Structure 1
Amino acid sequence: MKKYKFIIKLSFIAALALPILNSCNDDDFLNMKPLGVATDGDLAAGGYEEKAFGLYGKIRTEGGVADWNRYWFQSIRSDDAAKGSTPTDAATLGNVMDKYQYAKTEFASNWNGHFSLIYACNDLIVDIEASGLKDQGTIVNSAEAKAIRAFAYFDLRRDYGAVPIILNKIIKPSDGVKAKNTVAEIDAQIISDLEFAADNLPLNWPAYPGRATKGFANSLLAKLYLYQGNYAKALAKSEEVINSGQYALVSSYETLFSEAGDNSKESVFEVQFLRLQTTNYANNYWESQGVRGTSTWDLGWGFNVPTTDLVNAYETGDPRKATTILFSGQNDGFGNTLPASPPLAQKYWNKKAYTTPSLRASYGVNKNFWKNIKIIRYADVLLIAAEAANELGNPKAASYLEKVRARARGGNSSLLPAITGGQTTLRTAIKQERRIEFAMEGERFYDLVRWGDAASVLGGLGYLDKNKYYPIPQTAIDQSGGVLIQNPNY
C-alpha cells in the first residue's frame, strides 16, 4: 500500500491527499504544516502546481463526484445493487433509483458537483493559456486539468447524455449558462482533452500516487471509444496501456480490495482517502456503505447492498463472491460472525466497503474513512481490450479475457475454466465477466445501457428507455432561464 510516504517531507501533500476534513474546519487545515499549502521551494515543478494539486482534493470533496451520489447513480440503478439500510431510511431516494422513478428535484449535487469540478479545471487551463508559460511542469499541470475535466464530462455524458460544454472561466453566473451540446460534441471535447493529456502526462508519479498519468488518459479514451462502438480505437488505446509496462493484475482479488490494495500495480486512477492519526481526509462514500448495526457492528449507514440476483450470478466456486458480498449471520473472513438478519436490516452487504477489523481497532473508529475509491483499474483495461477485440473478430479477445479469469481463480485450475468458442460465446462471457469482476464498483448499469440490454434486464424493475439518462435538475433549468432544455420524457 503506497500511502503518502512523503507526507512529512512535502508540505503540499494535503491538497492531493484531500483538503476537507471531518474533524476540523478548512481554515485549520490550510494553516497546517506539513499538511498545508505549498510554499515557494516546496516543489520543483510547474508554476501552477498548487492549483493542479487542488483539483485532486476537489474530486473527493465536491458533492456528486466521489461521494455517496456516485453509487446511487452508478450502482443502485443496476440489477446488482439496492438501496439497502432500513426500509424507511432514504425511502424516497430508493424509489427514485431502485424503481426508476427519477425526480428532477433529487440528486442535483451530482450535476452541480461535476460542473464545479469542470469550472475549477477551466480556471487552471485558462490561466495557463493566458500566462504564455511553456515549461514542461506547466504543460503537465494543464494536462492534469484536462484529464480531470474529461473524467467529469465522461461521468456527465453517461448520466445525462447531452450537457453544455463550458470551457471558460465563470466570473458571473451568466458565464455558466449555455445550451446543451450533443453527445457527439461532448465526446469530441473529451477526446481532445484526453489526447492532450496522453501526450503530456508522465507514465507514473513515484512520489505522488493518485495523480493523473498517461495510462489514465489512454484508459479513459479506450473506455469512451468502447461506448461509441469504435472498437478499433478502443483496442488500440487499451493495448497502448497494456504494452506500457506500467500495470499488472494484483495476484489476489481479495488483497486488491483490502487496504493493501490501494495504489497497487493494478491502479490506473484512484480517489485518495486517508486517515492520519485522528483526522479523516475522506467523505461519506465508504462510511455510508458500511454494515448498519450496533456496537461493534455499527460500521456505517448500510446503503448500496448486493441483490439476490447478484449473489446468484456467480459461477460455482468463484472466489470473488466472498470478496464482494458480506453475508449477515456468516463469518466475515477475519474470524468474526456478523449478526443475522434480522436484527440486521439486510442479508447482504458490500464487502468491498469493508475494512480489516484490526485496523479499525488501531484507529479507534469503526467506519471506513481510509480506503481509496478505484475509478479505473487494469482489469478494466484488459476487459475493454477483450470486448473490442472480440467485436473486431480478433483472436486476442480470449487471451485478454483469460488473464482476468486466471487471476480470479487464484491458481485453482478446477475453478473458472478458460472460455473458448466463437464471437457470440465470447461476447456472452465478457458480459458476465464484467458483471462479476466489477460488481458493486459502478460499471453494471452503464454496461447494460451501452449493450442495449437495459430494457430486457431491468424492465421488470420499472426501467424504461428514457431512464438511461437522468433528468437535468430543475434548479439548473430554472437558473438558466430556460436555455437548458430538459431531457426527453421528463
Structure 2
Amino acid sequence: MRNKFILNILAILLLFSACKKDFLDRSPLDGYTNNNLWTSANDANAALVGVYNGWINADFVIGSDCASDNGFDQYPWEGLLVYGNGSVNPSLVGVLSYPTTKAYNLYDYVTITKCNFFLANIGKTPMDATLKANMIAQVRFIRAYKYAIMSQLYGDVPLVTTVLTADQSLASVRTPKADVVKFIISELAAAATDLSVTPNSGDGHVTKGAALALKARIELYNGNYADCITDCQAVMQMGYVLYPSYTDLFRMKTQNNNSEIIISAQYVQSTYSNNMPGKMASNSSGGYSSFIPVQSLVDAYEMANGKPITDPASGFDAANPYANRDPRLAATIMYPGESFTQVNGNPTYYDPFTTTSADYYASRNNTSPTAYLVKKYNSNLTDFSQLFNAGLNIPLIRYSEVLLTDAEAKIELGKIDGTVYDDINAVRVRAGMPAVDKAVYGNQATLRTLVRNERRVELAFEGLRFFDIQRWGIGSQVMSGPIYGAKLGTITPSTGKYTVTGAPLNIETRVFADKNYLWPIPQTEIDLDKNLKQNPGY
C-alpha cells in the first residue's frame, strides 16, 4: 500500500499548488509549506482546489461501460478490454507498458490521502465557521465518493481516515465492505448538513443535492430501500428539473447551470482539459473510436411506440433496424448511415462499411470494429475546437438517475403506486417516449424489468452499468459468450441509406465467472503489503 498511502507533506503541497481548477476561482499559489498553508480562508480554498484536482477520471466514467455489456474498448493498453472479456489478472493491473495489455487501476489512495490531509489541518485556519464547515463537507463528500467507487470495484478495502506514516501504511488490512458502506453513508449524511442547498452551483462544487443523491445511490446498491426513498424524496424537493433536450443535455453549451446536473466533473480547455471527445469520435473526424457500443446495447432501446424490439407487435424492421426507435438511441449511439457533422462543418453520413471510407470497420485504423460510436457527448463535434483538449464536463449524477432510483427502490419494496409510474414516465416522456403501459407493466416483476432497462438506456456510458450488473447478479447472463456489432451492409453516399447485406460483426467471446463481480487487487499492492489478501478467484 505504500505507493498509494505515502504522500509526504511536500508532495501533497505540490499537488495543491500545481492545481489549475479555474472553476474554483483560485489561481495557483506557489511556495506553500504546511506551516503557512492554513493561515487564511484564501489559503484553505487553495488547499481545497488541490483536493478537487484529479478527483475524477473521465476515462473511467465513460469507459467503464466497456467493462459491461454496453461497450467494447478495442485498445488493450487503455486497460478496460480485460475487464470486459474476463481475462483480467492481478499482475496486469497498473502495468503501464505500451502497447501491451494492461488493466485499469482504480485502487488508488492519492485523493483520499489529500482529503485526510485537508481534514487534519483545516481546523487550525482562522476563517468564517460556516465557510469552513462547507469546505470540510465538500472534502468529506469527495472522500466518500472515492470509497464508494473502490468498495464497489474491489469489495473490502482499507478504510483510512487519517494521514498515515510509512509504518502504518504497511500494516493495513482490508476493512469489510459493509463497514466501508456504513462509513460512506455516515459521511454523506454529515456532509449534507453543511453543504449549499443551491440545486446547481454551476462551478463544480459539491452541494447538498449531490451528497443526498450519492447516499441514495449507495443505499440502493446495498438494498437499504427505505432510506434510499427518503433521500430521493429530499432531492426531488430541491428544485432539480429534467433538461428539455436529452441530446443537448450533454453538450458544452448547456453544461453550466443545467437544471438536471446534480454534480459533474468540471474541465476547462487548455487549463484542465480532457480528451474524451477525441477518444469517442470517428476516425474521419480525427478521433480514435476507443469506447464503442455493442449490439446488445442497441437492442435494448425500445421502438418509439414503447414496445421492445423482441415484441412481434413492435413494428421492428430488421432491414431498417434504427427507424422508429427510442430517440435516445440516436442521441447516444452513432450507427451506420446516421448523418453527422465533421469538425470542419461539412455534413456527411457515417459509413463503416465501404472499404475506401475513412471509417471502414475492418481497417483497424482508429475505426470502430462494431460499426458503432458513442455519440452522447459528441452530438455536435463543432462544439470542440480541439477534440483532445476539451472543456467538456462529465456528469456524475443526474436528476434522471434520482427518479429511476426512487422508482426502483419502491418497486423492490413492493410499494407500487402512482409515484413509481410518475418517476419513470418523467424520464421517458422527456426523451420523447410514451408513458408506461400499465396493462403491460403492472406488477413487481414486470416493473423491475422495465426500470432496469430504463436505467440501461438512459444512463449508457455514464459509468453505472457495471455496478448495476454487479448488484443485480446478472453477470453470467449478460457478460458471457460472443458480443456483436452491427450487421454488415452498404451505405448510400448521397442519402446514408443502410442496406443490410450480411451477418452481425463478431467482436469477441467473453467469459464471466463469479470472481469477475470484483476487480483484482493489484499484485504490486499485495507484494508491498503482506497483510492484504487478494479477492477470491484471482
**TM-score with structure 2 setting the length:** 0.75
Q: Does 1:182 align with 2:176?
A: yes
Aligned-pair distance for 1:477?
Answer: 1.1
Partners of 2:265 and 2:396 within 8 A in 1: yes
Q: Does 1:78 align with 2:62?
A: no
Hey, what does 2:515 align to over in structure 1?
Answer: 466
Distance in 1 separating the partners of 2:231 and 2:127: 30
Which of the residues 323, 330, 346 maps onto 2:331?
323
Partners of 1:205 and 1:211 within 8 A in 2: no
CA 1:195–1:418: 2 relative to 1, 3 Å: same
Aligned-pair distance for 1:423?
Answer: 1.6
Partners of 1:290 and 1:367 within 8 A in 2: no
Q: How does 1:358-373 map to 2 (within 5 A)?
A: 358-360=382-384, 363=385, 365-367=386-388, 369-373=390-394
Partners of 2:408 and 2:448 within 8 A in 1: yes
Point out the more displaced range, 219-228 or 349-358.
349-358
Hey, what does 1:210 align to over in structure 2?
Answer: 204
State the SS of the aligned residue for 2:175: coil
Q: How does 1:313-352 map to 2 (within 5 A)?
A: 313-316=300-303, 317-332=325-340, 335-341=347-353, 342=355, 343=357, 344=359, 345-346=367-368, 347-352=371-376
Q: How does 1:50-65 map to 2 (within 5 A)?
A: 50-59=46-55, 65=56
Q: How does 1:253-268 map to 2 (within 5 A)?
A: 253-263=246-256, 264-268=258-262
State the SS of the aligned residue for 2:264: strand
Which of the residues 281, 294, 303 maps onto 2:272?
281
Hey, what does 2:138 align to over in structure 1?
Answer: 144
Q: Sequence identity, in percent?
A: 29
Partners of 2:279 and 2:290 within 8 A in 1: yes
Residues 21-71 of structure 1: CA deviation (Å, up to 9, x unaligned): xxxxxxxxxxxx98434999xxx9576221112222221xxxxx4142444
Q: How does 1:153-172 map to 2 (within 5 A)?
A: 153-172=147-166
Aligned-pair distance for 1:183?
Answer: 0.7
Q: How does 1:427-442 map to 2 (within 5 A)?
A: 427-442=448-463
State the SS of the aligned residue for 1:332: strand
Hey, what does 1:487 align to over in structure 2?
Answer: 535
Aligned-pair distance for 1:354?
Answer: 1.3
Aligned-pair distance for 1:223?
Answer: 0.5
Hey, what does 2:192 align to over in structure 1?
Answer: 198
**TM-score with structure 1 setting the length:** 0.82
Distance in 2 separating the partners of 1:373 and 1:209: 13
Aligned-pair distance for 1:323?
Answer: 0.8
Distance in 1 separating the partners of 2:389 and 2:119: 34
Distance in 2 separating the partners of 1:244 and 1:258: 24
Which of the residues 445, 454, 474 maps onto 2:466?
445
Partners of 2:193 and 2:208 within 8 A in 1: yes
Aligned-pair distance for 1:129?
Answer: 4.3
Distance in 2 separating the partners of 1:115 and 1:49: 21
State the SS of the aligned residue for 1:380: helix
Hey, what does 1:298 align to over in structure 2?
Answer: 286
Hey, what does 2:86 align to over in structure 1?
Answer: 100
Which of the residues 113, 119, 124 maps onto 1:125?
119
Distance in 1 separating the partners of 2:18 and 2:237: 30
CA 1:386–1:369: 2 relative to 1, 3 Å: same
Distance in 1 separating the partners of 2:126 and 2:274: 37
CA 1:385–1:206: 2 relative to 1, 3 Å: closer
Point out the more displaced range, 229-238 or 169-178.
169-178
Amino acid at match of 2:382: S
Partners of 1:140 and 1:201 within 8 A in 2: yes
Amino acid at match of 2:435: P
Amino acid at match of 1:309: S
Aligned-pair distance for 1:255?
Answer: 1.0
Distance in 1 separating the partners of 2:437 and 2:180: 36
Partners of 1:280 and 1:369 within 8 A in 2: no
Hey, what does 2:297 align to over in structure 1?
Answer: 310
Aligned-pair distance for 1:458?
Answer: 1.6
Structure 2: runs of 5+ lacking an equivalent:
1-16, 96-103, 304-324, 360-366, 482-509
Aligned residue pairs, count: 437
Aligned-pair distance for 1:330?
Answer: 2.9
State the SS of the aligned residue for 2:397: strand
Hey, what does 2:28 align to over in structure 1?
Answer: 36
CA 1:58–1:440: 2 relative to 1, 3 Å: closer
Amino acid at match of 2:67: R
Partners of 1:328 and 1:339 within 8 A in 2: yes
Query: Which one has the largest radius of gyration?
Result: 2
Partners of 1:254 and 1:323 within 8 A in 2: yes
Hey, what does 1:25 align to over in structure 2?
Answer: none
Structure 1: runs of 5+ lacking an equivalent:
1-11, 20-32, 60-64, 410-414
CA 1:339–1:309: 2 relative to 1, 3 Å: same
Distance in 2 separating the partners of 1:255 and 1:13: 33
Partners of 2:276 and 2:387 within 8 A in 1: no
Hey, what does 1:223 align to over in structure 2?
Answer: 217
Amino acid at match of 1:477: I
Residues 168-197 of structure 1: CA deviation (Å, up to 9, x unaligned): 114436436410000111001101211111
